Structure 1
């Protein structure tokens, strides 16, 4: 009799028999799902009426939608057997259902259960989420058409079914990227496609479990909250000490807002030459400047890395912070741009494509360092490995891996990436730092400490296609050299560093309107980080000039450009407004991105 009451409960409660409720189901990117009736939808959001009330869900948060045949949503109903997300509660219901059927003996009861089996479970493939709690890796040999091959068998234990331990084995030629203890994984499992569920149907369900992918998330070891808390504590101290002023923070926050608004929400990148598609409101679209010349369209990965560094520098990660979705989308974009075999990131079109790789690598390393998200470790390490493999033996880098050529500019960015990798605890080679110093020494003029781009004391690279005197020559490579030396372990009291400081102090930041021929955001960025690390009275002088140049010339007002910097000056024609805004935000973040030398 008790079983009959249970059967009536199954027939009455709509949560068990979806054929009665005919609920629409919205699956979110974070794994959650909402059931109800879609009553309205547009380009921006979907409105779902649930038993708890009405929800307006942004389109960008939705992974997929399942609609019943009578839904108002206007989309195609789900097909039979389509993969759906199964929660822990769903798994518990399935186990209870099959256990009840196993001890049932009355035909009438069985008929009702078989109807439910056919409607809800039979032949259904579902996706479930688990957390890896241990990995047992061992090599096994398998016979293939190519002969004997050694594969890796990973025994992944996942805590599921209300604390029970689900254990399964999957074989790979190599372990999936980011698979380690504490990582969330997405699994797939199937119910048997039979007319009648057997007593061992649940065991067969468990045996069918297979690995789908490592989720872009991790529970164990996540330090995002600690990272953000440490940032807030640090910035509070800097404000108290007067180093960070309300003006600089307002500028940084406005710059981040502009960058967030102009991210491509679908792809996750910052589109260097087509960011205007994200412009809205008064003053839109934002001007390209530079006489209307469109920025280069092949540096999206690099400039996206630069933008991500600006967010990471302000305590934002893909796990914590106001802009966590912005950072999350950006990181996913960079990983998608990575060649799984070589580890290279970004478009290789054009001569200087490798800038994109090094900036993207730095962003991945900093994100991993800030969060310890295991899914970032493998992509970051592969990108770092590519940098080390691309280095010329005994020296530095140029635009192509190990081509025997070197230049100071790309070397500076490479060393910043390796320094970020070192801080993150990734594998690096000390020889890489030694080679960079050897190169910097080679192109630094002995008489005054001026560092050249490819030759001792030269005036650096100039963008082709415009008069060489368009912008005044700045000691940019000297600034790069100072920061590179410091990142490689040399002390600020080093003679060559002190010589370089004198050259920088003769060319402090100056937004000299109307000519604007002294503008060089690249130089200001490197100079600011170098001078802060050196400290002293020279830093105070440089800092005052830098703030005057940037704070007074940031776009403001209720216009689309609000928070950005116009892409004028040396190199802005390449990276456009995204580049100019991201690098200037980073410059203003130097107070908390690097520590000032002790007085």
Structure 2
């Protein structure tokens, strides 16, 4: 599934140039989603996430299919989405979708900005053999704004915001942006304080547990005490035994648990793989005008549900595990 050479690539950035047509279970194209992209390059937001956030998530899902701005099955859509995102950035503050860093103290605006930073960073990495000066400049400004929103305790307000901000910053760093490990480690510790692992696994917030586990893999300090978050890995193992776990999750939590379980490997990944095949795959529409899409659920509009669903399925071939973990 992932060869030895790819195991050395950065987490979240080991993108393989494979189309969904090469996967037995996943749909090869997303005609409905492509058609719903505006002429300007964006996708409409839903009741919880704005156009910047949804467009960023759609861009991430298409990058995972091997598309960049100049190559791949969705190059035109990727190019339009990337141009639209850069146009939403304030040239002074670097904020994407809002005008000032103070606005990033709100979870909704912070997530939009973090997802946009993440998408731009991944696109830069995918296109690393050809310079994208506008994207690199935008990434630098976006990282500065994101770090400006980091609070004194190292977090970004909420566990969800802190986890996604950390993911975006790691992605930016691996694509070439200067991000200090001090800020990342502070975010990791803040997330650990925010996410409790105590109590009945059935009553834990699976998405937050997965975020904590995932950031523990991605942000490791130089000492043994700062290595992987073993309590979170243990909690992930317990989550996998919760009856009907996958049907009770929302699309975002399914994605996060999939990514975290893939990094954990072993029995955790084996059990997660069963959940993905029995609960996630059947949610993708296989025929008709909605072919390739995931239907709205739990407050997630079609575009956002589809982006998270496609990224969940892409975990099989998109990302490398951190070296030494199997």
TM-score, with normalisation over the residues of structure 1?
A: 0.46
Aligned twin of 2:40: 267
Q: Is the 8 A contact 1:318 1:324 kept in 2?
A: yes
Q: How many residues align?
A: 298
Aligned counterparts of 1:414 and 1:428: Cα–Cα separation in 2: 12
Aligned counterparts of 1:394 and 1:568: Cα–Cα separation in 2: 34
Q: How far off is 1:449 after superposition?
A: 10
Aligned twin of 1:361: 117
Q: 1:355 to 1:557 in 2, by over 3 A?
A: same
Q: How far off is 1:445 after superposition?
A: 3.8
Q: Is the 8 A contact 1:368 1:374 kept in 2?
A: no
Aligned counterparts of 1:447 and 1:535: Cα–Cα separation in 2: 23
Q: Is the 8 A contact 1:474 1:507 kept in 2?
A: no
Aligned counterparts of 1:362 and 1:381: Cα–Cα separation in 2: 12
Q: Does 1:477 align with 2:250?
A: no
Question: What is the 5 A alignment of 1:2-17?
Answer: none
Quick check: 299-308 or 429-438, which moved more?
Answer: 429-438
Q: Does 1:390 align with 2:119?
A: no
Q: Is the 8 A contact 2:15 2:319 kept in 1?
A: no
Q: Deviations for 1:181-239, whole angstroms, at most 9, x for unmatched residues?
A: xxxxxxxxxxxxxxxxxxxxxxxxxxxxxxxxxxxxxxxxxxxxxxxx9723xx59xx9
Aligned counterparts of 2:242 and 2:302: Cα–Cα separation in 1: 24
Q: 1:444 to 1:511 in 2, by over 3 A?
A: closer
Question: What is the 5 A alignment of 1:559-574?
Answer: 559=289, 561-569=290-298, 571-572=299-300
Q: 1:595 to 1:230 in 2, by over 3 A?
A: closer
Aligned counterparts of 1:231 and 1:428: Cα–Cα separation in 2: 25
Q: Does 1:311 align with 2:62?
A: yes
Q: How far off is 1:519 after superposition?
A: 3.7
Q: How far off is 1:477 after superposition?
A: 1.0
Q: Deviations for 1:11-42, whole angstroms, at most 9, x for unmatched residues?
A: xxxxxxxxxxxxxxxxxxxxxxxxxxxxxxxx
Aligned twin of 2:287: 557
Aligned counterparts of 1:351 and 1:315: Cα–Cα separation in 2: 30
Question: What is the 5 A alignment of 1:380-529?
Answer: 380-398=139-157, 407-445=158-196, 447=198, 474-489=205-220, 494-507=229-242, 512=247, 518-529=248-259
Question: What is the 5 A alignment of 1:532-551?
Answer: 532-551=262-281
Structure (1 or 2) with the larger CA radius of gyration: 1
Q: How far off is 1:437 after superposition?
A: 1.9
Q: Is the 8 A contact 1:310 1:582 kept in 2?
A: yes
Q: What secondary structure sits across from 2:316 in the alignment?
A: helix
Q: Deviations for 1:494-543, whole angstroms, at most 9, x for unmatched residues?
A: 4313322133213476565xxxxx14111111000000001002201111
Q: Is the 8 A contact 1:511 1:519 kept in 2?
A: yes
Q: 1:507 to 1:579 in 2, by over 3 A?
A: farther
The one of the two structures with greater contact order (alpha-carbon pairs below 8 A, sep at least 6) is 2
Q: 1:370 to 1:526 in 2, by over 3 A?
A: same
Aligned counterparts of 1:257 and 1:357: Cα–Cα separation in 2: 27
Q: Deviations for 1:425-480, whole angstroms, at most 9, x for unmatched residues?
A: 11112122111122123234475698xxxxxx9x7xxxxxxxxxxxxx74221111
Q: Is the 8 A contact 1:448 1:500 kept in 2?
A: no
Q: 1:230 to 1:556 in 2, by over 3 A?
A: closer
Q: What secondary structure sits across from 1:427 in the alignment?
A: coil
Residue number among 258, 275, 290 corresponding to 2:32 in the alignment:
258
Larger relative helix fraction = 2
Q: Does 1:300 align with 2:25?
A: no
Aligned counterparts of 2:16 and 2:229: Cα–Cα separation in 1: 30
Aligned twin of 1:581: 306
Q: 1:436 to 1:320 in 2, by over 3 A?
A: same
Aligned twin of 1:590: 315
Q: What secondary structure sits across from 1:231 in the alignment?
A: coil
Larger relative strand fraction = 1
Aligned counterparts of 1:533 and 1:230: Cα–Cα separation in 2: 15
Aligned counterparts of 1:446 and 1:356: Cα–Cα separation in 2: 27
Q: What secondary structure sits across from 1:358 in the alignment?
A: helix
Q: 1:262 to 1:536 in 2, by over 3 A?
A: same
Q: What secondary structure sits across from 2:155 in the alignment?
A: coil
Q: How far off is 1:548 after superposition?
A: 1.6
Aligned counterparts of 2:111 and 2:197: Cα–Cα separation in 1: 29
Question: What is the 5 A alignment of 1:12-51?
Answer: none
Aligned counterparts of 2:144 and 2:171: Cα–Cα separation in 1: 13
Q: Any unmatched runs of 5+ in structure 2?
A: 1-13
Q: Deviations for 1:78-110, whole angstroms, at most 9, x for unmatched residues?
A: xxxxxxxxxxxxxxxxxxxxxxxxxxxxxxxxx
Q: Is the 8 A contact 1:475 1:503 kept in 2?
A: no
Aligned counterparts of 1:230 and 1:419: Cα–Cα separation in 2: 15
Q: 1:449 to 1:409 in 2, by over 3 A?
A: farther
CA-atom RMSD, angstroms?
2.9
Aligned counterparts of 1:567 and 1:259: Cα–Cα separation in 2: 13
Question: What is the 5 A alignment of 1:77-88?
Answer: none
